[in-house]
């Protein structure tokens, strides 16, 4: 499987937002929840409307690690309220066309990869959401230790590699080095 990248450029980030919002509110909300919470796609797709409606924090038990963590969603409440209006609390937050189940991971990948392609971004997929959150969190806070804790990584070096900071540093060094 090809490694995906975070969306580093805020202009491209907003372009993907616009593309997804224009095609489907569900797809837009999937993107917003992913880039603003850092949740893995399996955890996002397991959410129900009642899990996130009218809450500042959601307590999640991660599917992969089985660890419990608080997820701040207060900053998304306006979008969540508009998106979930008329939806029952037991409904999947990201329902398939059938409505009784959430979209699949494969469908989520198709949605995100297609939006990335339209925005002229390569290597965009489900994991790009989590990586984008991490990348922008680090760029804003420079707190790799906290991000490492949030992501449950074993070492800061793992976190920096995961969010693509090492790639940025290597590229900048090569550009700055120039020509011999």
pLDDT digit string (tens) for 72-116?
Answer: 999 999 999 999 999 999 999 999 988 689 999 999 999 999 999
- Of 64, 140, 142, 179, the active-site residue reads 64
Q: What is the DSSP letter of 180?
A: -
> Sign (positive/negative) of CA torsion 55, 12, 125, 137?
negative
- Of 53, 131, 136, 153, the active-site residue reads 153
Distance CA 41, CA 35 (A): 11
Buried b (16+ CB within 10 A) or exposed e, 62-72: beeeeeebebe
- Of 130, 133, 135, 136, the active-site residue reads 130
pLDDT band at residue 170, thresholds of 50, 70 and 90?
A: confident
Active site residue 133: no
- Of 40, 53, 109, 136, the active-site residue reads 40
Give Cβ neighbours of residue 160 (< 8 Å, ≥ 6 apart): 138, 144, 166
What's the pLDDT tens digit per position in 2-41?
A: 789 999 999 999 999 999 999 999 999 999 999 999 999 9
**Exposed (0-12), middle (13-18) or buried (19+): which is 95, by Cβ within 10 Å?**
middle
**Exposed (0-12), middle (13-18) or buried (19+): which is 99, by Cβ within 10 Å?**
exposed
Q: What is the mean pLDDT of the segment spanning 54-78? A: 94
Active site residue 64: yes
- The answer, yes or no, to whether residue 1 has pLDDT greater than 60, is no
Q: What is the mean pLDDT of the segment spanning 164-179? A: 87
**Exposed (0-12), middle (13-18) or buried (19+): which is 110, by Cβ within 10 Å?**
middle
Task: State how far the alpha carbon of 124 is from the alpha carbons of 6, 65, 110, 148, 164, in Å.
Answer: 7, 24, 10, 22, 13
3-state secondary structure of 171: helix
What pTM was computed for the model?
0.92
Active site residue 179: no
- Of 109, 127, 131, 136, the active-site residue reads 127
Q: What is the mean pLDDT of the segment spanning 156-177? A: 89
Active site residue 48: no
Active site residue 97: no
Distance CA 124, CA 128 (A): 6
Distance CA 74, CA 68 (A): 18
Distance CA 37, CA 161 (A): 19
Q: What is the DSSP letter of 4?
A: P
What's the pLDDT tens digit per position in 123-160?
A: 999 999 999 999 999 999 999 999 999 999 999 999 99
Average per-residue pLDDT for the chain:
94
Q: Shortest CA distance to 83 belongs to which of 10, 33, 132?
A: 33
pLDDT band at residue 42, thresholds of 50, 70 and 90?
A: very high
């Amino acid at each position: 499987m090809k490694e995906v990248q975070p969306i580093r450029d805020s202009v491209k980030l907003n372009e993907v937002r616009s593309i997804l919002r224009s095609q489907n509110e569900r797809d837009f909300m999937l993107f917003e929840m992913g880039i603003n919470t850092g949740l893995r796609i399996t955890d996002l797709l397991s959410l129900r409307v009642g899990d996130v409606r009218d809450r500042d924090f959601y307590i999640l038990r991660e599917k992969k690690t089985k660890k419990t963590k608080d997820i701040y969603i207060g900053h998304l409440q306006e979008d969540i309220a508009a998106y979930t209006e008329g939806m029952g609390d037991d409904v999947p937050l990201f329902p398939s066309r059938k409505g009784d189940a959430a979209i699949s991971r494969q469908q989520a990948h198709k949605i995100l990869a297609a939006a990335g392609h339209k925005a002229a971004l390569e290597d965009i997929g489900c994991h790009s959401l989590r990586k984008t959150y991490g990348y922008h969190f680090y760029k804003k806070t420079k707190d790799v230790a906290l991000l490492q804790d949030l992501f449950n990584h074993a070492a800061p070096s793992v976190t920096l590699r995961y969010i693509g900071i090492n790639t940025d540093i290597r590229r900048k060094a090569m550009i700055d080095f120039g020509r011999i």
